[in-house]
Amino acid sequence: MRRFVEVAALMILGLFVGATEAQQDATPPSTVDRQSLDDAWWTGPMLAPSAATLPRGHLLIEPYLYDVNSAHSNGFGSLTYINYGLADRLTVGLIPTAGLNVVNDGPSSSGVGLGDLTVQSEYRLTKFQEGHWIPGTSAVVQETFPTGKYDRLGERPSDGLGSGAYTTTLAIYSQTYFWLPNGRILRTRFDASQAFSNNVDIEDVSVYGTSAGFRGHAKPGDSFLADSSWEYSLTRSWVLALDATYRHNWNTLVTGYNALAASSSTSASRFQLNSGSSEVLSFAPAIEYSWKSKLGILLGTRVIPAAHNTHASITPAVAINIVR
């Protein structure tokens, strides 16, 4: 939690300083036309959510389809942001997920299954105003419910699409706009979040690496995420985007026993697993195209290189952004 607060504060402070410097040089040469905010249409980058809340009564729907391509499997999935402007400063929403795992060296998922469901509330703290140095910022609270299958997976561990845990996430989002020397807009976002999960009861084969006959518990490690994104408005409809993220996952502890063992008191029946902490860096370039100011498409790819306790993966994705 301390790391979350410190990094979030540094990110917001850096954004304030950068915005101040940009505003001092915001007026381009007289021979260059300054792009207006109304002339820039956005879908948003691939990963970083917006610090701007929806106007009261407005609805945003943004479904994603993606394929997490790693060395021995493909994780086909979908998630959909469904946000509603409950008040001008308050947006509430749902993020349902679903997926299908195709495994090279074992049985694949039996079919498309539901993943965990997230509900969220976002409250706007400040609003960006052109000519001012204060960026738009918001505070976000998310709660993820364990609606996805995670244990009692039988002979198909790939059917596991959930964590089994209730997870609370606290986040700070920020967003501002810079005018480049050519008069075009560069929109930037800096987000930081910390997630906390409760204990999970586990039976048999699970996403935590347990086998048939297991009875026990898991304590998923906390997770910190920082995300910075840049979007360059090439034209009113076309945008180039890039996310850079850092995630730290703390150790997950699994403890229990094997009920199929001859005696649960023997050392062979006891089970303990520590996943260890992990570091995840990712980059996600994307292209945005908008037919209208409230209708656009995003094509992007998230790249995660191999790191400490992290396998390399490439995740192409497509999303449709609809605001009403």
pLDDT tens digits, one per residue of 49-104: 999 999 999 999 999 999 999 988 999 999 999 999 999 999 999 999 999 999 99
- What pLDDT band is residue 31 in, cutting at 50, 70 and 90? low
pLDDT beyond 90 at 27: no
- Mean pLDDT over 203-219 rounds to 94
pLDDT for residue 26 is more than 80: no
Least confident of 26-35, 125-134, 232-241, 305-314: 26-35
Per-residue three-class SS string for the chain: CHHHHHHHHHHHHHHHHHHHHHHHCCCCCCCCCCCCHHHCCCCCCCCCCCCCCCCCCCEEEEEEEEEEECCCEEEEEEEEEEEEEEECCEEEEEECEEEEEEECCCCCCCCCEECCEEEEEEEEEECCCCCCCCCEEEEEEEEEECCCCCECCCCCHHHCCCCCCCEEEEEEEEEEEEECCCCCEEEEEEEEEEEEECCEEEECCECCCCCCCEEEEEECCCEEEEEEEEEEECCCCEEEEEEEEEEEECCCEEEEEECCCCCCCCHHHEEEEECCCEEEEEEEEEEEEEEECCEEEEEEEEEECCECCECCEEEEEEEEEEEC
Alpha-carbon gap, residue 110 to 209, rounded angstroms: 19
How far CA 217 is from CA of 71, 210, 263, 272, in Å, comes to: 29, 10, 19, 10
This prediction's pTM: 0.85
20 neighbors 57 (Cβ within 8 angstroms): no
* pLDDT score of 23: 46
Task: Give the mean model confidence (pLDDT) for residues 180-189.
Answer: 96
How does pLDDT run across 229-276, given as a tens digit for each residue?
999 999 999 999 999 999 999 999 999 998 887 554 555 578 889 999
- On the question of pLDDT at 24 being above 80, the answer is no
